[in-house]
Structure 1
Amino acid sequence: MGIFDRFKSNKSAQDKARNMSDAAERQANEKTGNKYESQVDSGQQQLHKRMGMDEDRPENP
Structure 2
Amino acid sequence: MTTTITVEGMSCDHCEQTIEEALQGVSGVSNVRADRDSERATIEGTSDNDALVRAVEDAGYDASV
- Indicate the TM-score class for this superposition, using the shorter chain for normalisation: 0.3 to 0.5
Q: TM-score, normalised by structure 1?
A: 0.36
- Larger Rg: 1 or 2? 1
Structure of higher RCO (CA pairs closer than 8 Å, 6+ residues apart)? 2
Q: TM-score, normalised by structure 2?
A: 0.35
Structure that is richer in strand per residue: 2
